[in-house]
A and B are shown apart, each in its own frame.
Chain A
């Protein structure tokens, strides 16, 4: 509870109210806070709580204080709660109801329900992090406040200084975001961590040369964990540049394992084959199946050979065709279907299975 600061409860410029819920009691960790039941308000920037009876008793906490949160189901005689785990108190925090707390988390107890919607909205705001794109400046009145509105906008030197500060914070955030998930994997992925640290430092300090290999490895690590890599994308060109490099690598050594490559990147890289004049093509079948094949495989050749094989044997199933050609069943079926689509084959579908014949119709 020591993360909260006294507040007048007024929404600031760029801050929007998302949801409010009555009947909320605050808990400092597991202990009931020395406050009554009040109204909890969630805005794009802060979590605000106001005493119902005494409107002047109002506290607020920036959403950036929240590490994560979870639901606590209601029990017998106990209301449902949302438990919010918090970062340590920042040094410049304004005074609030608690000087100090032994707990790194608080709870919101919903005595009049509403926890489901509140939780949902909180999740949304914590995902979107709208407070990062719009800094708070002078306050403006909300509907609940009787105060008069004030003119607010950042002008002059103050405005410029604020913008610079904002940009700096954003850059910091981007870098740390790229490592958010990484922190959980640190224990397991030693090499990954060392490499990423080294590169991040180089980028930040603009020191030394980052090798191409390092860059690709680094990006592939991040992407394999599903992290967008704003840092590296910005400094090393657009995503497609990365895909280009990847495509080149793929073209060279198709068999060599590329560790932790996301399927999306593989597909994007494969789409570059033609423009890179590589002897490979990405082919998409009607069913959505995608295959990488040698350029020499023109469609006509495939169909002609399929027709030959089928005519030769009278009829073929996908499995028989696969065996004949030494291909996977999936691929051989796609070929047969293609030949059927072109009108060269027709099908016999019975309890015995699916069989293809030359189209004698």
Chain B
């Protein structure tokens, strides 16, 4: 299924950081939403800022407009504040994009676990993300670092415990 661009993406002012505060808020909200849906559609979990500037998301060749580096940083900062983005380095050149936050993943995973009556069972991480049983679930194929974060979120809620085993990590759900 091809990605559906929002109407703002063809609106030239969308690519200029708006000075009017109220207008800017709406603009940034639209950018955040676009960035997350785009990454989700293409299953992107990390972004390189330089590359991102040239990607169709921030660069609409049809109307010859692209978001400036400064504006991209502003958008990313918004995402970070909302908990959807995490910088991997001090220079802010690479980041993790969490189009679903760890808490949200954790919730999905827990729902699946309890729906299948598998509470109190121990799983390895691999089983969860790549096991046959989880095929078809949204969290199937989730990258390790994201999965771990999600389980940590559940752990914080007291719904799971991460266990270190001989050949890796595992988790027990309560």
Q: Does B13 reach chain A (CB closer than 8 Å)?
A: yes
CA of A346 to CA of B15 in the docked complex: distance in angstroms? 11
CA of A361 to CA of B27 in the docked complex: distance in angstroms? 7
CA of A349 to CA of B13 in the docked complex: distance in angstroms? 7
Give chain A residues whose Cβ lies under 8 Å from the Cβ of B27. Answer: 346, 361
Question: In chain A, what residue has the closest Cβ to B22?
Answer: A343
Q: Does A113 reach chain B (CB closer than 8 Å)?
A: no
**A interface residues, how many (CB within 8 angstroms):** 14
Q: Does B2 reach chain A (CB closer than 8 Å)?
A: no
**B interface residues, how many (CB within 8 angstroms):** 17
Q: Quick one: which of A341, A343, A357, A361 contacts B12, CB cutoff 8 A?
A: A357
Contact B19 A347 (CB under 8 A): yes
Q: Quick one: which of B12, B16, B23, B30 contacts A359, CB cutoff 8 A?
A: B23
Most chain A CB within a 10 A radius of its CB, from B18, B22, B64: B18
Q: Quick one: which of B7, B8, B16, B30 contacts A350, CB cutoff 8 A?
A: B16
Could you tell me which residues of chain A, from 311 to 357, have a CB within 8 Å of some CB in chain B? 315, 340-341, 343, 346-350, 355, 357
Give chain A residues whose Cβ lies under 8 Å from the Cβ of B12. Answer: 315, 348, 350, 355, 357
Contact A360 B19 (CB under 8 A): no
Question: In chain B, what residue has the closest Cβ to A341?
Answer: B20
Residue numbers of B with Cβ under 8 A of A are 7-8, 11-13, 15-16, 18-20, 22-23, 26-27, 30, 64-65
Residue numbers of A with Cβ under 8 A of B are 315, 340-341, 343, 346-350, 355, 357, 359-361
For the A-B complex with A343-B20, A348-B12 known, give 5 more contacts whose Cβ atoms are closer than 8 Å: A347-B13, A348-B15, A348-B65, A357-B11, A361-B27
22 residue pairs bridging A and B, Cβ less than 8 Å apart:
A340-B20, A340-B23, A341-B20, A343-B20, A343-B22, A343-B23, A346-B16, A346-B18, A347-B13, A347-B18, A347-B19, A348-B16, A348-B65, A350-B12, A350-B15, A355-B12, A357-B12, A359-B20, A359-B23, A360-B7, A360-B11, A361-B23
